[in-house]
Amino acid sequence: MLNKIKTDSKSGRSKNYLGVIALLFIGAVFGSVLVSSFGYVRPALADVQIGRETPPEINQNPELTNFNNSFVETAEKLTPSIVQITVITKDRGNPHKGFEFFFPFKEDIPRERQGGGSGVIISDDGYILTNNHVVENATEVTVRLIDKTKYEATVVGTDPLTDLAVIKINASDLPAAYLGDSDKLKVGQWVMAIGNPLSLSSTVTAGIVSALGRNVNIIEDSYGVENFIQTDAAINPGNSGGALVDLHGAVIGINSAIATNGMTGTYIGYGFAIPINIAKVVAEDLISSGKVLRGYIGVRIEEVDEDLAKAVGLDKPHGILIQQVMENGAASKEDIQDGDIIIDVDGKEMDRPNQLQSYVASKRAGDTITLNIYRDGDYIDRKITLKARDDDGTDTPVAKNDQKKKNKNNEVVEASFDDLGLTVRNLRSKEYDQFKVKNGVLITKVKRFSKSENQRLFADLIITEIDRIKIDSVSELEEVIDDNKGKAVLLKVVDQGGTSRFVGMEIPE
């Protein structure tokens, strides 16, 4: 009996062991299903692996790598030479157009607008090349460099006939761009546009030269010079005045216009740049004399078509027809006649009127050029000394004057600082308690788009300190501003609730 009991006990233990093993196996399987199906157990963050462990093996193409690096290096070298320009302009017009019955006599009210574009640094001492339409009628021009520093700029001169202008900032050791040779451009050549489109600073786009010598009729003057480089590199509002560069890092054009559907005003396929060879001559003249000393042949011209070519005996339609020799022009002094056909100038073939205008625009009054002319079946050469137009001129910026009001004791009680866009006056007795201040001057007006507005100053703020110096009167404020021209100062201002804050402000020279 005892033996039987012992035997039964061993058998029971064996069965228990088998049961435990079976349960463990079932539990492991069930747990695996739960983890894989429901994700109840997740790996630690350090254990997560994404992507490949090793890079894919790709045969490197040295030519492709060098080609890609050309874009990278060009962008790195040229971007610091491109600036962002912000302008304030005044125009006249009725802001209630279409509702004149309700708002009559508004046409002569000047309105301020803020706009901008881009520019190219062309000298290390602060000369910047841009478009005329960027700074035209500007009352204030501000330049922002790639390092975010800002400068007030003056307009050196403008040339509406090429849509070019030069402005100047008071700076040194600037990264001037290298200006190339636009005459060597070829259709199909890779180029990059660098500028500040749609207020997006330091933007680079790429494309090719899709055409040369384009005339798109955007300069509304019969003497306007249009010989644009056409490119499919994306150009948008704000790119104006920026650079079109080749992959050697040379600026070969100044971006000026875009093709648009007229509704969005944005890029739809291609843009236009002014050849840098024209821009260099214009910039040199504007910097040296404030105006362009452009020479003119003094003729009215037209393209030669197939019918005209056949009529005069040319073997193909080429050259430029002189429709009329202008009285007192340069051509009238030489043996140049109506009906002559200009085949080339200084050895350069001419097939389009804007091509001739562009070449002559790169010359100055007093320069001599040689025309090869087709007349009555013969080819003859004639030399012409270019002459300036009598009415060729440029715009000049208008000087600004600060305004002041004085009391009977000849003390300044109110003053306007136009460079800051700020008008202030002395506090009245009750205003000390109203603003909970013991000193200061009251801001009565802040000009729209001004430096003061940009620093979030507004009317009915009190300026109590400048650079920790307490201000008690307009005269004291004026004295501190005069002592800090060309420097940045720290203003302390207080609002009507007694809340104070500090504001940085750069005082123009």
Could you tell me if 451 and 480 are in contact, meaning their C-beta atoms sit under 8 angstroms apart? Answer: no
Q: Tell me whether residue 104 is exposed, middle or buried, using C-beta atoms within 10 angstroms of its C-beta: 0 to 12, 13 to 18, 19 or more.
A: exposed
Cα 380 vs. chain centroid, distance in angstroms? 46
Write out the two tokens for 460: 């009915």
Annotated active-site residue in 81, 118, 133, 416: 133
CA atoms within 13 A on the CB side of 290: 7
Number of H helices, E strands in the chain: 9, 26
> DSSP states of 301-316 as a string?
EEE--HHHHHHHT-SS
Is residue 133 part of the annotated active site? The answer reads: yes
**Strand pairing class (190-195; 243-246):** antiparallel
Q: Tally the residues of the chain.
A: 509
- Give the three-state DSSP class for 342: strand
- Give the three-state DSSP class for 403: strand
Distance from C-alpha of 413 to C-alpha of 400, rounded to nearest angstrom? 20
Q: Residue 317 phi/psi, 5° resolution?
A: -75, 105
Residues 6+ apart with CB under 8 A from 133: 163, 240, 256
Is residue 500 part of the annotated active site? The answer reads: no
Write out the two tokens for 451: 């430096």
Annotated active-site residue in 240, 358, 452, 473: 240
- Element containing residue 433 per DSSP (H, E): helix 429-435
> DSSP states of 476-500 as a string?
HHHHHHHHTTTSEEEEEEE-TTS-E
Annotated active-site residue in 159, 163, 246, 344: 163
Buried b (16+ CB within 10 A) or exposed e, 196-225: bbeeebebbbbbebbebebbeeebeeeebb
**Dihedral sign (CA 181, 183, 186, 187):** positive
Write out the two tokens for 122: 């062309």
Work out the number of other CB atoms within 10 angstroms of the CB of residue 12: 10
Distance from C-alpha of 96 to C-alpha of 173, rounded to nearest angstrom? 48
Distance from C-alpha of 311 to C-alpha of 313, rounded to nearest angstrom? 6
Could you tell me if 287 and 127 are in contact, meaning their C-beta atoms sit under 8 angstroms apart? Answer: yes
Could you tell me if 352 and 342 are in contact, meaning their C-beta atoms sit under 8 angstroms apart? Answer: no
Work out the number of other CB atoms within 10 angstroms of the CB of residue 75: 16
Is residue 240 part of the annotated active site? The answer reads: yes
Could you tell me if 358 and 348 are in contact, meaning their C-beta atoms sit under 8 angstroms apart? Answer: no
Active site members: 133, 163, 240
